[in-house]
Amino acid sequence: MTRRVGVVVNPIAGMGGRVGLKGTDNKVEEARRRGAEPRAPERATEALEHLRRQGADVELVVWGGRMGETPAVSAGFDPGTLTVPGDPTAPDGTGADDTRAAVRAFVARDVDLILFVGGDGTAVDVAETLDDLEEDTPMLGVPAGVKVYSSVFAVTPRAAGRLAATFDRLETREVNDIDEDAYRGGDVRTDLKALARVPVGEELQSSKQIGGGSIEALAQAVAAEIRTDADTSYVLGPGSTVDAVKTELGFDGSPLGVDVWRDGEVLARDAGESDILAHLGDENVIVVSPIGGQGFVFGRGNPQISPPVIRQCEVRVVASSRKLEETGVLRVDTGDTDLDDELRGWQRVRVGKFERRLMEVT
């Protein structure tokens, strides 16, 4: 039996991440001014390549241009193209209205699955359009946004491709989103926007869980270690755990951004990729904490800690025992598959003043 898959790509999703904007909503021009490059089309191609490699009988129905057709052809498909959104060569020729139009067109073509590429905003556009149509067509996300809080996404583009080709069951999952302007100011406001039917698979991510136990002793120990290492540049990631370390170091860091510290001085605050690279030295360490409930160390919420940054640094992971128990495993999705493979395996995670636990990075 042929499975018909509708594919729509938000080509600007995630552009703001590596340049420190924590999202792209209403920030496309600023992202480009800072040198941001689109990452969603590349991730779409990767997902579709792995869908094709499963050998399943799949028919692709795609939205036009860079919103589907271009990555599908790059992945080796000869898709059925429904329309071209505006001018596909224009820098801002796509938007939420195009995504919603694509979903309506896919439903009219009786697709068996909508495979979308983007972040939580794109997930909301797809889910709300299905609700408006009173349709229960399943959806599956290829993660390409900066913030990916919803549980309708596969953990990587490759996983999305495999699952789109092989799933045989569906379940109901959450579509969440946050206020990006509040997020940029350090305030996480998560709202449940919709419920959606999603393929069942082990490689789906959980909803982002906010909260955790006391990390005071952990933060004090990590900060004390950093203070004794004057020759090393420390790249301090986002999140409440590492923010507690920043507080112990005596500065008001960007709680949802990345700061660079060396020898008692903040070299860069709320830094993008280029700022981080500019302040790396001969010895460099990244301090990060996994996202609670999901386990992502890299690839969610911190794309400015990019593969070029990671390759120049030692990676140290810190987390409370409670967070690790809730998470189970650690994950990486840097966008560089070779680097992801290098990072996988067993990682020693600091959980207290002296205690460490071995966790598997999958």
* pLDDT, tens digit, 9 for 90 and up, residues 91-110: 344 688 999 999 999 999 99
Q: DSSP secondary-structure letter at 66?
A: G
Higher per-residue confidence, 349 vs 205: 349
Q: Are 300 and 333 in contact (CB under 8 A)?
A: yes
Higher per-residue confidence, 356 vs 311: 311
Q: Are 112 and 139 in contact (CB under 8 A)?
A: no
State how far the Cα of 200 lies from the Cα of 215, in Å rounded to an integer.
34
Q: Is 264 helix (H, G, I), strand (E, B) or coil?
A: coil
Question: What's the pLDDT band for 358 if we cut at 50, 70, 90?
Answer: confident
Q: Are 309 and 277 in contact (CB under 8 A)?
A: yes
pTM (whole model) above 0.75: no
Higher per-residue confidence, 9 vs 192: 9
Residue 223, pLDDT score: 93
Question: What's the pLDDT band for 232 if we cut at 50, 70, 90?
Answer: very high
State how far the Cα of 305 lies from the Cα of 39, in Å rounded to an integer.
15
pLDDT tens for residues 106-131?
A: 999 999 999 999 989 899 999 999 99
Residue 19, pLDDT score: 43
State how far the Cα of 81 lies from the Cα of 64, in Å rounded to an integer.
6
- Look-up of token digits 């990767």: 46
Residue 169, pLDDT score: 94
**Residue 45 pLDDT > 90, yes or no?**
yes
- Look-up of token digits 């070779």: 338
pLDDT tens for residues 194-216?
A: 989 999 998 998 765 444 435 78
Average pLDDT over residues 15-34: 52
Higher per-residue confidence, 312 vs 183: 312
Residue 84, pLDDT score: 57
CATH of 3-199, one of 3.40.50.10330, 3.40.50.300, 1.20.810.10, 3.40.50.880: 3.40.50.10330
Cβ neighbours, 10 Å, residue 136: 12
Average pLDDT over residues 40-52: 94
Output the CA–CA distances (angstroms, integers) from residue 34 to 16, 28, 30, 119, in the order listed.
Answer: 9, 10, 6, 20
Q: Which of 174, 261, 179, 248 is nearest to 215 (CA)?
A: 248
**Residue 56 pLDDT > 60, yes or no?**
yes
Question: What's the pLDDT band for 85 if we cut at 50, 70, 90?
Answer: low
